[in-house]
Amino acid sequence: MSSVEYITYKGILLPQMDYSFENLNQMENEFQILDDDVINITYPKSGTNWMSEILGLISQKGDPTWTHSTLVWDRSPWIETNGGLQRALKNPPPRLLNSHVPFQLFPKSFLQTKAKVIYTLRDPKDVLISLYHFSMILKTLKYPGSLQEFLEEFLSGNVIYGSWFDHVKGWMELKGSPNFFYITYEELLQDLRGCVEKICQFLGKELSSQQIDSVVEYASFQKMKENKKSNFSELPDHVMDHKKGRFMRKGISGDWKNHLTVAQNEHFDRVYRENMRGMNNTFPWD
Which spans of this chain sit near ligand PPS (rule: CB under 6 A)? 42, 44-50, 126, 130, 133-134, 219-221, 224, 248-251, 255
Give whichever of 116 and 167 is closer to ligand PPS, judged by the CB atom: 167
Smallest distance from the beta carbon of 280 to ligand PPS, in angstroms? 25
> In the annotation, is 242 catalytic?
no
Nearest approach, Cβ of 47 to ligand PPS (angstroms)? 5
Q: In the complex, what is the shortest distance from the CB of residue 195 to ligand PPS, in angstroms, rounded to a whole number?
A: 11
Q: Which is nearer to ligand PPS, 35 or 83 (CB)?
A: 83
Min separation Cβ 227 and ligand PPS, Å:
10
Q: Could you tell me which of 205, 231, 207 has the C-alpha nearest to residue 219?
A: 231
| Cβ nearer to ligand PPS, comparing 27 with 128 | 128
Q: What sign does the CA torsion over 47, 49, 53, 55 have? A: positive
Indicate the residue among 221 and 272 with the shorter CB distance to ligand PPS. Answer: 221
Burial of 280 (0-12, 13-18, 19+ CB in 10 A): exposed
Query: One of 68, 100, 133, 242 is an active-site residue; which one?
Result: 100
Q: How far apart are CA 99 and CA 42, in angstroms?
A: 7
* β-pairing verdict for 96-99 and 38-42: parallel
Question: Which residues carry out catalysis?
Answer: 100
